[in-house]
Protein backbone atom coordinates (compact mmCIF):
# COMPACT_ATOMS: atom_id res chain seq x y z
CA UNK A 1 0.00 0.00 0.00
CA UNK A 2 1.24 3.48 -0.84
CA UNK A 3 1.78 5.83 2.11
CA UNK A 4 1.36 8.98 0.05
CA UNK A 5 -0.20 10.01 -3.22
CA UNK A 6 -0.68 13.02 -5.44
CA UNK A 7 -4.05 13.70 -7.08
CA UNK A 8 -4.97 16.53 -9.42
CA UNK A 9 -6.73 17.61 -12.58
CA UNK A 10 -4.55 17.33 -15.68
CA UNK A 11 -5.03 17.99 -19.38
CA UNK A 12 -3.83 15.27 -21.73
CA UNK A 13 -3.13 14.74 -25.39
CA UNK A 14 -3.10 17.21 -28.25
CA UNK A 15 -6.68 18.24 -27.46
CA UNK A 16 -5.83 18.88 -23.79
CA UNK A 17 -8.66 16.67 -22.55
CA UNK A 18 -9.56 17.22 -18.91
CA UNK A 19 -8.70 14.24 -16.74
CA UNK A 20 -8.31 13.40 -13.06
CA UNK A 21 -5.08 11.65 -12.17
CA UNK A 22 -3.70 10.16 -8.97
CA UNK A 23 -0.48 8.30 -8.38
CA UNK A 24 1.63 7.08 -5.47
CA UNK A 25 4.68 9.10 -4.58
CA UNK A 26 8.01 8.04 -3.06
CA UNK A 27 7.57 4.49 -4.34
CA UNK A 28 10.44 2.19 -5.16
CA UNK A 29 10.36 0.71 -8.63
CA UNK A 30 8.10 1.17 -11.66
CA UNK A 31 4.36 1.76 -11.27
CA UNK A 32 1.63 0.21 -13.44
CA UNK A 33 -1.34 2.28 -14.61
CA UNK A 34 -5.13 2.04 -14.73
CA UNK A 35 -7.48 4.04 -16.96
CA UNK A 36 -10.80 4.53 -15.15
CA UNK A 37 -13.78 5.06 -17.49
CA UNK A 38 -16.50 6.97 -15.70
CA UNK A 39 -20.12 5.87 -15.78
CA UNK A 40 -22.93 7.69 -17.60
CA UNK A 41 -23.62 9.98 -14.59
CA UNK A 42 -20.29 11.48 -15.51
CA UNK A 43 -16.93 12.59 -14.27
CA UNK A 44 -18.10 12.79 -10.67
CA UNK A 45 -16.77 12.64 -7.12
CA UNK A 46 -17.48 8.92 -6.76
CA UNK A 47 -15.38 8.13 -9.83
CA UNK A 48 -12.54 10.36 -8.63
CA UNK A 49 -12.62 8.46 -5.34
CA UNK A 50 -12.02 5.25 -7.31
CA UNK A 51 -9.04 6.88 -9.02
CA UNK A 52 -7.55 7.69 -5.62
CA UNK A 53 -8.27 4.14 -4.41
CA UNK A 54 -6.06 2.78 -7.16
CA UNK A 55 -3.29 5.21 -6.24
CA UNK A 56 -3.55 4.13 -2.61
CA UNK A 57 -2.99 0.57 -3.79
CA UNK A 58 0.12 1.31 -5.80
CA UNK A 59 -1.21 2.22 -9.24
CA UNK A 60 -1.08 5.42 -11.25
CA UNK A 61 -4.70 6.00 -12.32
CA UNK A 62 -6.39 8.45 -14.62
CA UNK A 63 -10.01 9.17 -15.53
CA UNK A 64 -10.51 11.17 -18.74
CA UNK A 65 -13.61 13.36 -18.76
CA UNK A 66 -15.40 11.80 -21.71
CA UNK A 67 -17.94 14.65 -21.74
CA UNK A 68 -15.34 17.42 -21.87
CA UNK A 69 -15.85 18.35 -25.52
CA UNK A 70 -19.63 18.38 -25.28
CA UNK A 71 -19.91 20.25 -21.98
CA UNK A 72 -16.62 21.86 -20.90
CA UNK A 73 -16.79 23.20 -17.37
CA UNK A 74 -20.29 21.84 -16.71
CA UNK A 75 -21.21 20.00 -13.53
CA UNK A 76 -21.28 16.19 -13.84
CA UNK A 77 -25.10 16.16 -13.69
CA UNK A 78 -25.48 18.84 -16.37
CA UNK A 79 -22.83 17.29 -18.62
CA UNK A 80 -24.44 13.85 -18.27
CA UNK A 81 -27.90 15.22 -19.08
CA UNK A 82 -26.57 16.92 -22.19
CA UNK A 83 -24.73 13.81 -23.37
CA UNK A 84 -27.78 11.62 -22.72
CA UNK A 85 -29.75 13.97 -24.94
CA UNK A 86 -27.19 13.42 -27.68
CA UNK A 87 -27.43 9.63 -27.35
CA UNK A 88 -24.04 9.18 -25.71
CA UNK A 89 -20.44 9.42 -26.90
CA UNK A 90 -19.41 7.69 -30.12
CA UNK A 91 -17.46 4.46 -29.68
CA UNK A 92 -14.53 5.64 -31.79
CA UNK A 93 -14.19 8.75 -29.62
CA UNK A 94 -14.12 6.57 -26.49
CA UNK A 95 -11.35 4.48 -28.03
CA UNK A 96 -9.33 7.60 -28.87
CA UNK A 97 -9.71 9.09 -25.39
CA UNK A 98 -8.76 5.88 -23.59
CA UNK A 99 -5.74 5.48 -25.85
CA UNK A 100 -4.74 9.06 -24.99
CA UNK A 101 -5.15 8.35 -21.26
CA UNK A 102 -3.12 5.14 -21.51
CA UNK A 103 -0.33 7.04 -23.29
CA UNK A 104 -0.36 9.65 -20.51
CA UNK A 105 0.13 6.91 -17.91
CA UNK A 106 2.93 5.29 -19.87
CA UNK A 107 4.58 8.70 -20.14
CA UNK A 108 4.96 9.15 -16.37
CA UNK A 109 8.55 9.10 -15.13
CA UNK A 110 8.18 5.94 -13.05
CA UNK A 111 5.72 4.07 -15.29
CA UNK A 112 6.17 0.33 -15.72
CA UNK A 113 4.54 0.47 -19.15
CA UNK A 114 1.72 -1.87 -18.17
CA UNK A 115 -1.76 -0.33 -18.26
CA UNK A 116 -5.20 -1.72 -17.48
CA UNK A 117 -8.67 -0.29 -17.88
CA UNK A 118 -11.83 -0.47 -15.78
CA UNK A 119 -15.36 0.82 -16.29
CA UNK A 120 -18.76 0.59 -14.67
CA UNK A 121 -22.19 0.53 -16.38
CA UNK A 122 -21.76 2.24 -19.77
CA UNK A 123 -18.08 2.38 -18.85
CA UNK A 124 -18.04 -1.40 -18.47
CA UNK A 125 -19.16 -1.82 -22.07
CA UNK A 126 -16.60 0.79 -23.09
CA UNK A 127 -13.81 -1.00 -21.18
CA UNK A 128 -14.58 -4.14 -23.17
CA UNK A 129 -14.83 -2.11 -26.38
CA UNK A 130 -11.41 -0.48 -26.06
CA UNK A 131 -9.68 -3.84 -25.58
CA UNK A 132 -10.50 -4.54 -29.23
CA UNK A 133 -8.57 -1.51 -30.49
CA UNK A 134 -6.05 -0.34 -27.86
CA UNK A 135 -2.99 -2.20 -26.61
CA UNK A 136 -3.78 -2.78 -22.94
CA UNK A 137 -2.66 -5.43 -20.49
CA UNK A 138 -5.87 -6.13 -18.54
CA UNK A 139 -9.49 -4.96 -18.49
CA UNK A 140 -12.29 -5.01 -15.92
CA UNK A 141 -15.91 -4.83 -17.06
CA UNK A 142 -18.21 -4.00 -14.14
CA UNK A 143 -21.79 -4.75 -15.23
CA UNK A 144 -21.27 -3.26 -18.68
CA UNK A 145 -24.66 -2.66 -20.26
CA UNK A 146 -25.54 -3.27 -23.92
CA UNK A 147 -22.34 -4.99 -24.99
CA UNK A 148 -24.35 -7.62 -26.87
CA UNK A 149 -27.96 -6.46 -26.84
CA UNK A 150 -29.08 -2.98 -27.94
CA UNK A 151 -30.83 -0.68 -25.45
CA UNK A 152 -34.63 -0.93 -25.21
CA UNK A 153 -36.78 1.46 -27.21
CA UNK A 154 -36.80 4.91 -25.65
CA UNK A 155 -33.53 4.43 -23.74
CA UNK A 156 -31.37 7.58 -23.94
CA UNK A 157 -28.21 5.82 -25.10
CA UNK A 158 -27.91 5.01 -28.80
CA UNK A 159 -25.24 2.31 -28.81
CA UNK A 160 -24.80 -0.82 -30.85
CA UNK A 161 -23.63 -4.34 -30.08
CA UNK A 162 -19.88 -4.94 -29.99
CA UNK A 163 -20.31 -8.67 -30.46
CA UNK A 164 -18.58 -8.58 -33.85
CA UNK A 165 -15.50 -6.97 -32.26
CA UNK A 166 -14.90 -9.61 -29.58
CA UNK A 167 -12.55 -11.61 -31.78
CA UNK A 168 -10.19 -8.62 -31.58
CA UNK A 169 -9.95 -8.45 -27.76
CA UNK A 170 -6.24 -7.98 -26.97
CA UNK A 171 -5.96 -8.69 -23.23
CA UNK A 172 -7.43 -10.72 -20.37
CA UNK A 173 -10.81 -9.48 -19.12
CA UNK A 174 -12.44 -9.71 -15.69
CA UNK A 175 -16.21 -9.31 -15.60
CA UNK A 176 -18.17 -8.54 -12.41
CA UNK A 177 -21.97 -8.68 -12.56
CA UNK A 178 -25.10 -8.81 -10.41
CA UNK A 179 -27.61 -11.64 -10.59
CA UNK A 180 -30.47 -9.15 -10.19
CA UNK A 181 -29.30 -6.89 -13.01
CA UNK A 182 -31.39 -6.44 -16.16
CA UNK A 183 -28.71 -4.64 -18.19
CA UNK A 184 -26.89 -6.97 -18.55
CA UNK A 185 -29.17 -9.79 -17.46
CA UNK A 186 -27.55 -13.09 -16.41
CA UNK A 187 -28.44 -14.65 -19.76
CA UNK A 188 -26.49 -11.96 -21.60
CA UNK A 189 -23.51 -12.45 -19.27
CA UNK A 190 -23.60 -16.19 -20.01
CA UNK A 191 -23.69 -15.46 -23.75
CA UNK A 192 -20.74 -13.08 -23.42
CA UNK A 193 -18.75 -15.79 -21.65
CA UNK A 194 -19.61 -18.24 -24.44
CA UNK A 195 -18.50 -15.82 -27.15
CA UNK A 196 -15.24 -15.00 -25.39
CA UNK A 197 -14.52 -18.72 -25.03
CA UNK A 198 -15.33 -19.31 -28.72
CA UNK A 199 -12.77 -16.66 -29.65
CA UNK A 200 -10.19 -18.04 -27.21
CA UNK A 201 -10.15 -14.86 -25.13
CA UNK A 202 -9.28 -15.02 -21.39
CA UNK A 203 -12.46 -14.04 -19.55
CA UNK A 204 -12.77 -14.49 -15.80
CA UNK A 205 -16.23 -13.56 -14.58
CA UNK A 206 -18.28 -13.62 -11.39
CA UNK A 207 -21.90 -12.76 -10.61
CA UNK A 208 -23.23 -11.78 -7.19
CA UNK A 209 -26.46 -13.03 -5.69
CA UNK A 210 -28.66 -10.24 -4.35
CA UNK A 211 -26.82 -7.55 -6.32
CA UNK A 212 -28.21 -5.53 -9.20
CA UNK A 213 -26.86 -2.81 -11.41
CA UNK A 214 -24.51 -0.35 -9.71
CA UNK A 215 -23.56 -2.45 -6.70
CA UNK A 216 -20.14 -0.73 -6.51
CA UNK A 217 -21.73 2.75 -6.26
CA UNK A 218 -21.24 3.80 -2.62
CA UNK A 219 -23.36 6.93 -3.13
CA UNK A 220 -26.44 5.11 -4.47
CA UNK A 221 -29.16 2.83 -3.04
CA UNK A 222 -27.91 0.07 -5.36
CA UNK A 223 -24.71 -0.28 -3.28
CA UNK A 224 -24.15 -3.81 -1.96
CA UNK A 225 -21.20 -3.83 0.47
CA UNK A 226 -20.48 -7.57 0.44
CA UNK A 227 -20.46 -7.75 -3.35
CA UNK A 228 -18.43 -4.55 -3.67
CA UNK A 229 -15.79 -5.63 -1.13
CA UNK A 230 -15.38 -9.01 -2.80
CA UNK A 231 -15.34 -7.30 -6.20
CA UNK A 232 -12.51 -4.97 -5.21
CA UNK A 233 -10.51 -7.93 -3.91
CA UNK A 234 -10.95 -9.67 -7.26
CA UNK A 235 -9.99 -6.51 -9.16
CA UNK A 236 -6.74 -6.04 -7.26
CA UNK A 237 -5.85 -9.73 -7.52
CA UNK A 238 -6.51 -9.62 -11.27
CA UNK A 239 -4.44 -6.49 -11.77
CA UNK A 240 -1.63 -7.84 -9.60
CA UNK A 241 -1.48 -10.88 -11.87
CA UNK A 242 -1.53 -8.98 -15.16
CA UNK A 243 -0.09 -5.55 -14.31
CA UNK A 244 1.94 -6.07 -11.16
CA UNK A 245 1.68 -3.59 -8.29
**Which pLDDT score, from 0 to 100, does residue 48 have?**
96
**Which pLDDT score, from 0 to 100, does residue 142 have?**
98
At 227-239, the pLDDT tens digits run 999 999 999 999 9
DSSP states of 35-62: EEEP-TT-S-HHHHHHHHHHHHTT-EEE
**Which pLDDT score, from 0 to 100, does residue 184 have?**
97
C-alpha span between 2 and 72 (Å, rounded): 33
At 73-117, the pLDDT tens digits run 899 999 999 998 888 999 999 999 999 999 999 999 999 999 999
What are the residues whose beta carbons fall under 8 Å from the beta carbon of 11, sequence distance 6 or more?
A: 17, 18, 19
**Which pLDDT score, from 0 to 100, does residue 1 have?**
53
pTM above 0.85, yes or no: yes
* Spans in the chain with pLDDT lower than 70: 1-2
**Which pLDDT score, from 0 to 100, does residue 129 have?**
98
Amino acid sequence: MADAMRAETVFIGEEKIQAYQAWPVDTAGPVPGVVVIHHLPGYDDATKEMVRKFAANGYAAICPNLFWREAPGASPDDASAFVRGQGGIADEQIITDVATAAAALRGLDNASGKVGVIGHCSGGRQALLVTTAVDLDAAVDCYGAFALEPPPTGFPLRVTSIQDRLADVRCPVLGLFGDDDKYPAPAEVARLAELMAEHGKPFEHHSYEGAGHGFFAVDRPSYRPLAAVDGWQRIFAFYAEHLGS
